[in-house]
Amino acid sequence: MRHFWVLVLAGLLCMAPLAHAQALDWPAFDELRAAHRASDVRVLARDGRPIQRIRDDFDSRRGDWTPLTDISVALQLAVIRSEDRRFYEHAGVDWVAAAAAAWTSLTGGRMRGASTLSMQLAGLLDEAYRRGPSGRSLIQKFDQAMAARDLEREWTKAQILEAYLNMVAFRGEIVGVDALARVMFQKLPSGLNGREAALAAVMLRGPNAQESVLTQRSCALLRGLGLAHECRGLRDFIHVALGRTAAPRQGRPELAPHFSRLALARAKADGTLRDGVLPTSIDRDLQAYVVQSVDRHIRELGGTWVTDAAVVVLDNRTGAIRAYVGSSGSLSEASEVDHAQALRQAGSTLKPFLYAAALDEQRITAASLLNDSPLGLEGGGGLYVPHNYDKRYAGWVSVRTALASSLNIPAVRTLIMVTPETLARRLIALGLPLEHGGDYYGYSLALGSADVTLLSLTNAYRALARQGRYAPVRTDDGEGLTDPSFDDVVFSPEAAWIVGNILSDRQARARTFGLDSALSTPFWTAAKTGTSKDMRDNWCLGWSQDYTVGVWVGNSAGASMRNVSGVSGAGPIWHDAMRFLHRAHSSVPPPAPDGIRRAVVHYANGLEPARSEVFIGDTVQTDFSPAPEAIAGALLRIAEPADGTILALDPDIPVDRQRLRLRAVDISARTAHSARWYLDGRPYEQAGLTDWQPVPGHHTIELQDENGIVTDRVRIEVRGGHSYGAG
């Protein structure tokens, strides 16, 4: 029976040239080529240059459509030799091969295929002609042959071969010559050599064939092509090639992988993805520069336990993302993680929003005095005792100094006035992903105990740059979509402007950062750094006239860094980005809103130099001094020695020459001369600055004011070989 159907098929095929079958509705070749979609989306910068290819279709792995002129001649010859030797001689059906296959089957030989490239292409174009799990029926074979004849009448041989090589499956999920060449052989399709072409051709006959079978068939094909010498080492070559079936695509741009995933997700959600091409807002030159800056600075931080960084650059006017680096790439311990959208503790980066809220409520002015002295607050979990970054206190300082120098205690005192719940509502209005209300965070919210993402935090700073107006970020260019009537007003223009004025004041931040640091630029910028608890996260954020830049530095797993601050960690990357952005034009200070007033202010007791200060409306005040009760000695404290100090007497120095300095300071951090010292419960001296001859043992040193009230106490230990009487 099998022989009978073979003869019938052969007879039908022989009569096929006499049949007048109706032409099928094939797409035009140009239409087919235009409709081809790679499995990767091509992501473009705002100027149209490519920045990334990102996988979108996981059913198969297809590359770009490749013209026949860009496909290796060696591959063309190998495929024709292996699949359809008389390709250029027949009109869609190879009658000679069909008759030979029928005769072989009739005589009991091994069944041979007679399917031409045109017939195979018909199967690729229409599922009705594809081979099913149980093979093709006689009618299907006949229909496929007729379809191939119709195809040959409409398309040229070159078009048929080009379409076939771009649509056929080679191995696993690899479809088309572009994916084959760029993945398995890591080269362009035009560069495939004889050995690579032979392997590609034999994979068409057995896409899932074993390595040994492919080696045998490839060598046979190479001999047929006159390339028998290429059989040497062929097995090892094929083993390596097959191991690359899941390799990254050769030559794909890898400039913005994390941003591309974000942009693709948004485009698919909005329904704006078209033709496998995704235009975006990225400035390609800026992106490349920021990637290099991250790599350079993370390498320079070697030995400080820093391995990762993320950067976001926003256009102030449109909210378009101009640069977006999600990790440090090969230096990262988790390079696929998008750290620009990972939740991290904010640290001091929330302080500008706190002070903006307090300015808006007119609880403070930029010139108001805040007390930077030890503070303990009752909380649900016990006593909350905040400290400054350097564990020192500055005494009475102005709001300008407190914010610019990032002092912690004044920020907590300001939050007491504003309340954590009010601040939390403002932060949520800025788009920060707070998961709880203000009561959950308590007063630690002033020091950034909430978790935020770099992307959301950078956009919140952009709201300050836009005079308090919040608007979401964009992954497209955003031109023409800048109507401010759609913005959410979170702060008044005056409050936002004053915060920017303070954060751009290098004199005001000199107490903590010095006059020359990474925060200083040769043009106008406002900047703020932050460090989270246990040195896990390091931030630098700020804006210029046109751009807002945010930088995070840390470790993927949240491990603590060593000896890294916002100025030394994230600051240099921020500085690099700002310098690049304004390499061709400067940045000038924003004009003051109508509600801003100026006045010369003076401070009592020389707490701060007289200066011209800015105020909101009728909050102008010219003279500032601490409250009278704050000046009293009740707030005196011990500056030296520190609590817990352990001293060891030097046996080589005479005992009467060894001294421990005792120093008391007032609320302004100035040496106090009205203090009374008590050593182990007994009066010692009444001068503010004195010294004491150390005595081995454990000692308690107290400080009392004029009313005999203990204002501070420290405990120390002195170690030595002999015991001496109390001094």
User: What CATH number labels 2-35+76-242?
Assistant: 1.10.3810.10
pLDDT of 11 > 90? The answer is no
What pLDDT does residue 354 have? 98
Measured CA to CA in angstroms, residue 495 lies from 160, 447, 592 at distances of 69, 20, 11
pLDDT of 601 > 60? The answer is yes
pLDDT of 194 > 80? The answer is yes
Q: How confident is the model at residue 114 (pLDDT cuts 50, 70, 90)?
A: low
Select the more confidently predicted residue: 388 or 494.
494
Domain with CATH 2.60.40.10 in the chain: 631-719
Cβ pair 187, 62 in contact under 8 A: no
What pLDDT does residue 24 have? 58
Q: How confident is the model at residue 726 (pLDDT cuts 50, 70, 90)?
A: very low
Determine which of 353-367, 416-430, 477-491, 531-545 has the lowest per-residue pLDDT on average: 477-491
pLDDT of 723 > 70? The answer is no
Determine which of 191-195, 273-277, 413-417 has the lowest per-residue pLDDT on average: 273-277
The per-residue pLDDT for range 259-272, each reduced to its tens digit, is: 999 999 999 998 88
What pLDDT does residue 5 have? 40
What pLDDT does residue 237 have? 96
pLDDT of 427 > 70? The answer is yes
The DSSP call for residue 717 is E
Q: How confident is the model at residue 725 (pLDDT cuts 50, 70, 90)?
A: very low
So what CATH class is 302-592?
Answer: alpha beta
The per-residue pLDDT for range 383-406, each reduced to its tens digit, is: 677 777 777 788 899 999 999 999
pLDDT of 544 > 80? The answer is yes
What pLDDT does residue 491 have? 97
Cβ pair 477, 320 in contact under 8 A: yes
Q: Which CATH architecture has domain 631-719?
A: Sandwich (2.60)
What pLDDT does residue 378 have? 64
What pLDDT does residue 6 have? 46
Cβ pair 43, 263 in contact under 8 A: yes
What is the CA angle 113-116-118, rounded to 5?
150
Mean of the per-residue pLDDT values for the chain? Answer: 87
Average pLDDT (567-576) is 91
What pLDDT does residue 143 have? 81
Joined together, the tokens standing for residue 443 give 């007063």
What pLDDT does residue 96 have? 65
Average pLDDT (85-107) is 70
Q: Is the dihedral of CA 476, 477, 481, 484 positive or negative?
A: positive
What pLDDT does residue 8 have? 47
Q: How far apart are CA 102 and CA 114, in angstroms?
A: 9
What is the CA angle 40-41-42, rounded to 5?
115
What pLDDT does residue 99 have? 59
pLDDT of 480 > 50? The answer is yes
Write b or e for each residue in 442-479: b if 16 or more Cβ atoms lie within 10 A of its Cβ, otherwise e.
Answer: bbbbbbbbbbbbbbbbbbbbbbbbbbbbbbebbbbbbe
Q: What are phi and psi of 410, to 5 degrees?
A: -60, -35
Average pLDDT (520-543) is 93
Q: How far apart are CA 360 and CA 356, in angstroms?
A: 6
Tell me the one-letter amino acid at 365.
T
> In terms of Cα–Cα distance, which of 354, 355, 375 is closest to 365?
355
| Reduced DSSP (H G I as helix, E B as strand, rest coil) percent helix, strand, coil of the chain, to 5 | 40, 20, 40
pLDDT of 186 > 80? The answer is yes
The per-residue pLDDT for range 611-668, each reduced to its tens digit, is: 999 999 999 999 999 866 554 444 677 878 888 888 888 888 888 888 888 888 765 5
Most confident of 109-113, 520-524, 700-704: 520-524
Determine which of 144-153, 210-219, 232-241, 277-286 has the lowest per-residue pLDDT on average: 144-153
pLDDT of 417 > 80? The answer is yes
Domain with CATH 1.10.3810.10 in the chain: 2-35+76-242
